[in-house]
Structure 1
């Protein structure tokens, strides 16, 4: 099997992170938190770092196909592993409708019939806009049914473009058009509230903008030098993302005059801002990038998600259509199944911000596995070779788990409700298909996951009713995070079972490396 360079792995993570997030999150975050969005970005980056360092050690130990999604199957039960693999898979397939939606929304800046920005919940796609998003999804899906060659090399070039263009535009605009008068006005006209600073993190897409940090884990088994590539692929997106998103947020604070607030429209905020200064060349380049970047990201995710579903089929449905390949060695049924399920999300969440908020909660919920597995492996298997060894592993494990809990909690009551329902449905599906006669056994294996997410939903619901004031609700979430991490750890499988699962996983890695 041909190996990927360290740079390729880094660009898969960093490039996958830069899709539609940079087009909307800086402005939506600014709308929600005002100038306090700077603190929102810093908090998001810090919490993402706490999560990423947990995965850095575990993923470098076990560079397996589908990465973090499969860890809990090793340390816990098949049912819990199934749940997290499914949630991880769903979190990936949502990217295709999300990026298609963002492309249509930016096209709506020039073709207003594609969008409806009169709705109080945000910018909606019109029926015409939804149909265009549908055809974009169809086109990308068809493209992914053919053999893809040199994807990593192409992605390297596209990622460099996606990374440096927004940063260059932001810094150039700040240098030539930034004004302290604008900053002073924007600072005085918006009040800074710590609660809105936190709510902007998930609700305005900030957490989503950093969610691509784990993409390198999906192809971790393909790294030439996993000791170097995997930690860097986790940390580099955080550093690059923070630089980019801070620059873009500062762009609105220093360059948006008070008399022209309405021009930075929700449909295409950055294009609206550039239109003030008559920068037609940059305006055109940015418009092209606003289309190319999400399309490139959705194409990568469509390809990766097909392989994730294929790996899921090989593990749980060995003789199903999920394992079938076409003449181009592509899991064609997986690709189309992802398309149809993704279509449901496009219709259920009609605005970019709504879809992003749910996706963020789903991605970070599936990341709970990292801190859990980190602590279990370090405590039970201290002798295992670690290409990256994290100091103070228990401290970072707890910080990582609490960070995930905050990201999920800040997504809001509705998203917590949807996530709770999804968790229960997946567990019920596993029971019905695999172990219909073992309901009590399955309940004992997964009850704490249901208890965790339902508890977060209850805290959010009670907070909305005004029974728990801010910041006591957030302090309670931290306590819940500590408590449930202990429960996750105490419900691990017997050490003999974990050891057996580890040996099977290591054999899988060795077979892939010998190919």
Structure 2
């Protein structure tokens, strides 16, 4: 395998990423991110918020995220660089917009690994032997000292695998993903064959006991969190052996498989519940505080052996996702360091082609996340909103790049892109709105902190090495984010109720379309876009450095 060692001027790198990952490796990276703790806990959370109508929540989320996945598929194949979600906006709107997208992407990615670990510990803490011998969680769901120690072991293992090399990461993840996909499907088959209470689909107040509000509220409560992750193949595109061919196929296939699996899981979950437990509502369908819903249902159905497998999977599934997100977070901070949006040391690459400082940074931030913060369910809304902000940059970047860089070969073309691209942007903004004002204003503060880091980094960079800000091209970003926080405060999901039901969705959609048009028109000139892309191609995407041998 060939790999270059020439550094990028001013980037702080010591080499290039190694292109070792094939189609199956990319597919498993995305699918492994989609099937994590979300399948273990997402169905229960969605059902308590929306009842049987949570099925609509899964279908709606799958439709919205599929459109966003198709947008990312075109961008990832046309611009195969590491940390793509941070760099597509950079190509179209310059460093400020690229940083805003990259910072949100990094915030959600770097916190998902510890969240997945906490999900594992929450699930396994209810195993009788564990409960009798080890106290992992406090009563409020936060980790005890022993819990933090166990969680740190998981994070250390993720870090070591990532430091060894991308091929080991891909192979390790591939084995985990095969298991992670088979166990949910086995669970569906067993539960639906042993116990299927059709009456549950209209019990406890009817099919939609909490109305449309419950359907929408379920999205940030765990549904979108479960389905997100398709973009991981794009984040790893800088290490793909044949990115133009494989990235789009991996993204689309992973999204399709994940959506089908989750929908079947929700059907099986609802049908397997004891009818007496939902006769009067969906607040506690499998028992208050039960973090092992499928294991509980399997035991009740007489399939204790399946419960054992599920508890094993409670370690493997979230751990596999956490492993991938350490890699993702490190590629995003690598990308931002490469662009000098954060200290360039994060872009340093070792002889194995690994951004090792960025990997260690992901470990440190993951450890901080184990401090007494809210439980899994409380954090998913915040992560979902951050993910949706990251996703929202892609449609406007695609439209702008189609206009400014239209001659670029695009192995995958988004069909009806002039229609689907704005729909994708509106979809992302609706997810942000449904996440609630509480999550949105906290992310606003997080963005302010990020901008301080950006400013300090820029001031410490020699003048001759600073990139032009193109600040006019990114002016739309701040009214957009501020407007979403304001609408969230006035809407039903922020407690304001100033904007009437359904009209709030109209307001979000209209506001999104106005921002979309302004953003596309504000993009950098064709020459500036060409210059930005050319620099990236010259310094990172080097087809001659592609590995010739078999990859993952």
Query: Does the TM-score normalized on the shorter chain lie above 0.5?
Result: yes
Unaligned runs of 5+ in 1: none
**Alignment partner of 1:114 is 2:132:** no
- Aligned residue in 1 for 2:13: none
**Cα distance in structure 1, aligned partners of 2:352 and 2:537:** 28
- Aligned residue in 2 for 1:357: 381
Alignment counterpart, residue 454 of structure 1, candidates 482, 499, 512: 482
**Cα distance in structure 2, aligned partners of 1:474 and 1:483:** 14
Shift of 1:29: 0.2
Number of residues paired by the alignment?
509
- Aligned residue in 1 for 2:84: 67
Shift of 1:329: 5.5
1:282-321 correspondence to structure 2 within 5 Å: 282-316=306-340, 320-321=344-345
Shift of 1:509: 5.3
- Aligned residue in 2 for 1:226: 243
Shift of 1:321: 3.6
**Alignment partner of 1:209 is 2:226:** yes
Shift of 1:90: 2.0
Deviations 1:410-467 (A, max 9, x none): 11111100111122222233233315999xx787554432221221111121122221
Shift of 1:304: 3.5
* Larger deviation, residues 353-362 vs 42-51: 353-362
**Cα distance in structure 2, aligned partners of 1:147 and 1:375:** 35
CA contact (8 A) 1:5 1:225 kept: yes
Alignment counterpart, residue 400 of structure 2, candidates 364, 376, 379: 376
1:241-252 correspondence to structure 2 within 5 Å: 241-252=258-269
TM norm structure 1 = 0.91
TM norm structure 2 = 0.85
**Cα distance in structure 1, aligned partners of 2:350 and 2:328:** 16
CA contact (8 A) 1:91 1:362 kept: yes
- Aligned residue in 2 for 1:491: 522
CA contact (8 A) 2:334 2:355 kept: yes
**Cα distance in structure 2, aligned partners of 1:85 and 1:242:** 26
1:270-419 correspondence to structure 2 within 5 Å: 270-316=294-340, 320-324=344-348, 330-347=354-371, 349-419=373-443
**Alignment partner of 1:467 is 2:498:** yes
Counterpart secondary structure, 1:316: coil
CA contact (8 A) 1:60 1:227 kept: yes
- Provide the alpha-carbon RMSD of the alignment: 2.7
Alignment counterpart, residue 430 of structure 1, candidates 447, 451, 454: 454
CA contact (8 A) 1:264 1:273 kept: no
Alignment counterpart, residue 185 of structure 1, candidates 203, 208, 216: 203
**Cα distance in structure 2, aligned partners of 1:226 and 1:324:** 22
**Cα distance in structure 2, aligned partners of 1:267 and 1:392:** 43
Shift of 1:141: 3.0
**Cα distance in structure 1, aligned partners of 2:36 and 2:20:** 25
Alignment counterpart, residue 16 of structure 1, candidates 33, 39, 58: 33
**Cα distance in structure 2, aligned partners of 1:485 and 1:378:** 14
- Aligned residue in 1 for 2:11: none
**Cα distance in structure 2, aligned partners of 1:148 and 1:391:** 33
Shift of 1:240: 1.3
Alignment counterpart, residue 154 of structure 2, candidates 129, 136, 139: 136
Counterpart secondary structure, 1:150: helix
- Aligned residue in 2 for 1:43: 60
Unaligned runs of 5+ in 2: 1-17, 278-284, 547-552
**Cα distance in structure 2, aligned partners of 1:61 and 1:352:** 36
Q: Structure 1 pair 280/64, CA: closer, same or farther in 2 (3 Å)?
A: same
- Aligned residue in 1 for 2:254: 237
Shift of 1:151: 2.9
Q: Structure 1 pair 399/27, CA: closer, same or farther in 2 (3 Å)?
A: same
Deviations 1:258-312 (A, max 9, x none): 3354447532221222221232211111110111111122122223423432343
Counterpart secondary structure, 2:476: helix
Deviations 1:296-333 (A, max 9, x none): 22122223423432343233179854244567664443
- Aligned residue in 1 for 2:538: 507
Counterpart secondary structure, 1:165: helix
Counterpart secondary structure, 1:291: helix
- Aligned residue in 2 for 1:481: 512
Shift of 1:70: 0.7
**Cα distance in structure 2, aligned partners of 1:257 and 1:445:** 56
